[in-house]
Amino acid sequence: MNIFTIVMDIKIPLVGQWYTIYQTNWPNSNDGDAFVNPEGQVGVSDTGYSLYSLIPGEWYRLVISVNLGVHYDYYLDGQLLHNGGPQGFDGRFSLYPANDANQVLFFADNDGDDNPLDVAMLGLFDRDLSAEEIESMGGYGHEFESPPSTYMTPFLQTPTPNSIYICWHSDGSTESKVEYGLTEELGQISTGSYHTFSESLGKNGKPVTGYRLLL
């Protein structure tokens, strides 16, 4: 299953340890696929972690809305918490096996990163709930700054009398297609290439923060 939504009400007792949200590998033989890390941030290495940290002892409504190849988004108390990128179709975050079993484990991890936490509600939808639907579900009233936009306005580059490059960045799709023309109906389509960036910095297996780059 590549399209689904997970909804849960959770409360962590303290920071300084890991909590697993869910695990797509039903034999539980590898790492979980969404966590609350020791700093209270929600996510996993492949999607990145939220800027906001959960406060111990307080309830939150966590929603993960998934349409793999299009979006993988975390919401908290009805608000967008973190953009996780499109992620791979039939990849790590798919509910498998693919023979319609679609099994999933909650709060399970293979190597002890599944410390106890309080859970008041758990739901699994077979579609990706929209931002409006998730907002209508509400939560526990926490407010935080929205994550920075990952969208970049297209820009034009290297014009010639008969060609031009059009470049943009998006976490919503790897499709590289431009429609153009001399009328409002356009009528012409050109396809191009793309490159997927998914890199992280780490030391001794742990993410590095506060680093500087010289370009």
Q: What pLDDT score does 98 carry?
A: 58
Q: What pLDDT score does 142 carry?
A: 97
Question: Is the residue at 43 inside a domain?
Answer: yes
Q: What pLDDT score does 11 carry?
A: 98
Question: Is the residue at 74 inside a domain?
Answer: yes
Question: Is the residue at 186 inside a domain?
Answer: no
Low-confidence ranges of the chain (pLDDT < 70): 97-100, 149-153, 169-174, 195-215
- Eight-state DSSP code of residue 77: T
Nearest to 75 by CA among 17, 24, 147, 19: 147
Nearest to 94 by CA among 26, 171, 10, 170: 26
Q: What pLDDT score does 100 carry?
A: 63
Q: What pLDDT score does 191 carry?
A: 85
Question: Is the residue at 144 inside a domain?
Answer: no
Domain ranges, residue 12 = 3-137
How many domains does the chain divide into?
A: 1
The runs of H, that is alpha helices, within the chain are 131-137
Q: What pLDDT score does 215 carry?
A: 43
Q: What pLDDT score does 134 carry?
A: 98
What are the tokens at 133?
Answer: 């639907």
d(CA 135, CA 77): 8
Question: Is the residue at 75 inside a domain?
Answer: yes
Q: What pLDDT score does 159 carry?
A: 85
pTM beyond cutoff 0.75: no
d(CA 164, CA 88): 31
Question: Is the residue at 9 inside a domain?
Answer: yes
Question: Is the residue at 33 inside a domain?
Answer: yes
Q: Is 102 exposed, middle or buried (0-12, 13-18, 19+ CB in 10 A)?
A: middle
Question: Is the residue at 58 inside a domain?
Answer: yes
Q: What is the CATH number of the domain that holds 101?
A: 2.60.120.200
Provide Rg for the chain, Cα atoms.
20
